[in-house]
Chains A and B, each alone.
Chain A
């Protein structure tokens, strides 16, 4: 799971550098299938799932946690943006999954605005799908600002992939 992600990320970097202007827009974030508690849209990109009782999938919750440790200082709480960095809840409407991943990994600079490269930051790079899914959920208003009140159980597949990626016992 995570190794195929790494492949996608490498591709993302290339795509981002090579053809970001012409990149394909992200598709409808509606979840059409799920595997081991992870949801995917019709294009096969990771997406969120919010149950009728407001219960979010684990990845959305995990993205919420990591976002507010790694990203929110510049990008503002709940993806809302600041004078230094764009509102990511809007950015993910324009950037597709591969572009998003490419920027997180490779970073970018626009004048005085610097997005650091998070390739070596496992607290972000191991959770790119989680961050993307969380921001997608904010972008459509599927979840509100703040901590999601209810969440699905942590899937086994997540725990295993996390331990591998973070290099923990």
Chain B
């Protein structure tokens, strides 16, 4: 670790003449602050604070609360920079700066963007926004209408803004921006509107576009270097983002980029995943549909793709590949590897070598997963690296207008955007998961720019419905070296909020019915829970202020979970009456955005 630190600072010093030293590299190592939405560049979401421990967490209590004044789904988490807490809201995407030094947590400034409300109907899964980024004295907000704004962190004054997309074509923004070194990165949403996904790097100081890499299209658009960029160790062929599609379909091919991004400063590589190919009807888009459903490693400065891995070629279930890429260094087979760990919507957890893109482990992290028997790990096999699809659950093979039944996981995946955390002390990944299956019926749709381009309908239900089980979530600990579940806690509802582990041996996460929970990282034993005013789909922020450790989380139920689960599950589980009444989420919680900050009593 120290060695890594040293070599990184040398590298930074060497560049100091050309660009300012990477301030975030230093800031993210200060556990008192939470300077980026993912906690750090590596997406570990781990805090080195340890005032709150497995021994005393049972005494935790709310210290203060703040209403955002906005309904609907509150994803993401506040940032803490110095003595200021920065908070975002879903559409209309207001931003608050709260003074942590002030005993009343006075509002220092508020930013209220003016956005055309016609963006709301083109957002697929609620009007969520996953938070803010910080860098160079600026707070960055990616508004729903795709405007990226840079605000003065001290005053809230608008410094620059740039339009990243066009909502009239179904392009919207839900993801947090990410600042890596001297650039701010933003993605695009709209996979249900035939939007061709891209990631774009903007200059931190000016907002000038530096590069944009598309998920599909000619190599000039994807920034793939044929013969050089690799996929599972083999050089990628020319224009693979076109040749794996029929005709011009790549132009409306999806592969949007609305997840969390990570960055390895030593390798200078940015990692992220691309989403589903459009439409959800696989019959309408023959081919592997590259590079939807793909893990990308791109050079930070040029955007050139170093390696790729397509997890779900020719998707038939809407298993977006956008979930976070966690950069943890682990011993695998007695060898120290720079790994990337990714819990995909498709129900497989992948461990790769993040230097080369070599696939090391791919295992199901929910035993319910049934659409594929396994990922082919035989390097000499023709289907190496591909999932071996079970015909019965193939919506492609069953065809249009056929209701393919009991596919696990459901479209919202064994895990969706809710980020996991890595605790190096135990070597465990703590993962919030969904335990939901579906019936999926694809049908023909026609494309019109700016209009829904969905092409399937689905019904979701608890994965264990056939066994009389009613829970739709699990919170698990995962060993990514071997691909095994270490412990698993049942949750009544899908766990749609992101987890954070700490050096106190405690891991925090929120639940859909509204609990903030603390568990023992090692054993999973529940040590504390508190019911917040609304369901939690936000992530946990841990920070220190005035010498005290705080745990902050947004409640405000919604998101896809809110739309899809609140009402959708009651009917599908009616047959369970004898076993136990499955009650819908609406019986437990209601809308409303509130930040709750917890601390140990004085």
- CB within 8 Å of B: which residues of A? 64-65, 68-70, 72-74, 76-78, 80, 82-84, 109, 111-116, 118, 120-124, 144-147, 154, 166-168
Contacts and interface: CB of A to CB of B under 8 A. Distances in A.
B459 A146 contact: yes
A122 B444 CA distance: 11
B121 A114 contact: yes
Contact of A69 (B117, B401, B456, B459): B456
A83 B71 contact: yes
Contacts of B564: 77
A120 B71 contact: no
A65 to B, nearest CB: 5
Nearest to A167: B446
B591 interface: yes
Interface string B434-462: 00000101011110101111111111000
B563 A69 contact: no
Interface residues of B, number: 39
Contacts of A69: 445, 452, 454-457
Contacts of B62: none
B571 interface: yes
Given A65-B441, A121-B448, A144-B571, A116 B457 contact: no
Contact of B457 (A65, A84, A118, A122): A65
A122 B446 contact: yes
Given A83-B71, A121-B452, A73 B124 contact: yes
A70 B452 contact: yes
Interface in B81-138: 117-118, 120-127
A121 B455 CA distance: 13
Given A112-B117, A114-B118, A77 B445 contact: no
Contacts of B446: 122-123, 166-167
Contacts, number: 90
A124 B118 CA distance: 18
Leading 10 A-B pairs by shortest Cβ distance? A146-B571, A121-B451, A69-B454, A122-B446, A112-B117, A77-B567, A68-B457, A114-B118, A65-B457, A145-B571
Contacts of B8: none
Contacts of A112: 117, 120
Contacts of A166: 444, 446
A125 B573 CA distance: 33
Contacts of B178: none
8 contacts: A69-B445, A74-B120, A109-B117, A120-B448, A123-B451, A123-B452, A146-B571, A154-B401
Contact of A73 (B125, B445, B458, B459): B125
Nearest to B455: A69
B563 A147 contact: no
Given A69-B454, A168-B444, 19 more contacts: A69-B445, A69-B452, A69-B456, A76-B567, A82-B563, A83-B591, A113-B120, A116-B118, A116-B121, A118-B451, A120-B448, A123-B445, A123-B453, A123-B454, A144-B571, A145-B570, A146-B459, A147-B459, A166-B444
